[in-house]
A and B are shown apart, each in its own frame.
Chain A
Amino acid sequence: MYAVEYFEVECPEAAGAAYYKQITNDVLLDHNLLKVIHKLHIFIDPKVPVFVATGILKKITSLIRVRDFANINPQEGKMTLVISDETYLAPMLKIFWQRFGKEHVEQPDRFTVILYGIGEEPKEIEEIVVADPSEFLFKDLIYAFRCIAPEGFRLRKEKFGDGKFSFVASENTLDENTDELIAAKFALMGETP
């Protein structure tokens, strides 16, 4: 976990803490999430039992626009888009269909999209926002923490937003004072929830 500034796993059992540090590292690495986490503190107490993960995210600014994955060649009465990365092809087509109508959009093969008879400039097309990765980020993070937390801990309380997140899980009904626990763990990182 070289990219993360602060990463600690706190647990009354030392061996358990070491294993969970490894598990957390493996899962976040597999889900490609290490690059978005700035600080992370995990607390596990198998006696209660409770699992708490608190953390700070890095700033994610980039919106995905058409120009990020397609080259536009303007021609007489049409525009040919050469796609270099298919990941965002489906949402892009959906936006084009809504905006220009299906009769103006054609896709002869996987890597080519042709727009016929549209009034807009190539520059405007290039600037169309196709996706916002931060929307999926929280879903991915929740999924990753569900993988990291011991499996029996199915009662969860999670809060994501504003560059911070907290995730509490247990197999018993969660206590009312989980907020205090979360605040204490944020304080260890020198942050407030």
Chain B
Amino acid sequence: MTLVPVTYKGGIYQHDIVTDLIEDLGGYVVQKHLIAQEVVLQCFVPKDDIELIREISRPLFGEVTDSPLVGTEIAVVSMSLEIHHLPHPSCDIAEYTRRLGAKSNMVSLARGPGKRIAGLNDEERDVINEHDIAVFALGNFETCIEYKMPALRRGIEVPIILCGGPDKEALQKIVDPPVDGYVGNVGRFMHRTKESEELGKLDEIIAEITRVLEKKREEIAKDSLSVAPARLMDLIREKVPAIHEVTSPTPLTVQMTGLRVKLPYDTFAQDIRKVDIEDGITIGDLSDVVPSRMRDYILVKIRPFSETNVVI
């Protein structure tokens, strides 16, 4: 059964029917937003059953759209927390990816700005590496990007998408070795992105992220995960009741190869390791439950089939 990421939008009235249907079909609801009279579900559903969901939700005026970013956690790396880089463009990019289903986090660097003085510390590096992909929002000058990029990417293992003021060809020319994606003409600016041309640029960033994530998905598919991250999310929700007390918008953040659990590591790591998935196989058997560098959260990294010899 192939699960595909989709977004369901519809009225709040009788939306339980859709939620139950998705669960009955073997799908998972990753995020649920209730906005006034509307409900937005970001979910994984079996590929063959999308039409069925469309049909059943038609009388409820529901709409099912593809959302390739659902179930991914994206780091938008901004060079600092100053007015120079926030809220535009970093927040605009983060917000746009969020609308399309991703969970985006802003990572602002302590010593990001400048040319010679730019750098990345170990905490920032580790936090970025905990994501599925990193979008670097850099400035307007080729000279500066060329000079500082080697320092900023040191130790980053996740795919990088580089956004900068120079055009795409110029960016490709100055970054060596190449990064995974480039979006040109999106450097530092101090106004909201609302013109159609600027929104087009944001769409371009999304297209680039989607392309790189698709490639990563293909890589993962070659040696599939022992268990789907969304399934672990459902299990933890069911078996670790403390997760319901967490007030974060996404207490359980689904990633492509794992899960971020927003509970303190020292208190709950053992409980999570012991959660039974099926036939006595626990989460601890199929994944590494490690402390996250982000606050005192827990990071569940699912091991591939080649390491565990089990796929559930």
* B117 and A47 within 8 A (CB): no
Beyond A13-B143, A150-B139, A152-B118, whether A19 also contacts B113 by CB under 8 A is no
The number of chain A residues with a CB under 8 A from chain B is 22
Q: Whole-angstrom distance from the CB of A27 to the nearest CB of chain B?
A: 6
The verdict on A15 contacting chain B, using a C-beta distance below 8 Å, is yes
Beyond A23-B189, A152-B114, A171-B117, whether A147 also contacts B84 by CB under 8 A is yes
* A147 and B83 within 8 A (CB): yes
The verdict on B219 contacting chain A, using a C-beta distance below 8 Å, is no
Q: List the B residue with the shortest CB-CB distance to A22.
A: B189
Chain A 1-41 against B: per-residue CB contact (8 Å), 1 yes, 0 no? 00000000000010110011011001100100000000000
Partner of A151, one of B85, B166, B167, B187: B85
The verdict on A46 contacting chain B, using a C-beta distance below 8 Å, is yes
* A151 and B189 within 8 A (CB): no
Q: Whole-angstrom distance from the CB of B46 to the nearest CB of chain A?
A: 47
Partner of A16, one of B117, B165, B190, B191: B165
* B189 and A19 within 8 A (CB): yes
Residue among B80, B166, B191 with the most chain A CB within 10 A? B191
Chain B 21-51 against A: per-residue CB contact (8 Å), 1 yes, 0 no? 0000000000000000000000000000000
Chain B 109-144 against A: per-residue CB contact (8 Å), 1 yes, 0 no? 000011111100000000000000000000111111
Q: Whole-angstrom distance from the CB of A90 to the nearest CB of chain B?
A: 26
The verdict on B301 contacting chain A, using a C-beta distance below 8 Å, is no
Residues of B within 8 A of A44 (CB): 141
The verdict on A49 contacting chain B, using a C-beta distance below 8 Å, is yes
The verdict on B82 contacting chain A, using a C-beta distance below 8 Å, is yes
The verdict on A88 contacting chain B, using a C-beta distance below 8 Å, is no
* A13 and B141 within 8 A (CB): yes
Residues of B within 8 A of A152 (CB): 113-115, 117-118
Beyond A13-B143, A46-B115, A171-B116, whether A151 also contacts B190 by CB under 8 A is no
Q: Whole-angstrom distance from the CB of B120 to the nearest CB of chain A?
A: 14
Residues of B within 8 A of A178 (CB): none
Interface residues of B (CB under 8 A from A): 79-80, 82-85, 113-118, 139-144, 165-167, 170, 187-191
The 5 residue pairs across chains A and B that have the minimum distance between CB atoms: A152-B114, A151-B113, A152-B113, A46-B141, A46-B143
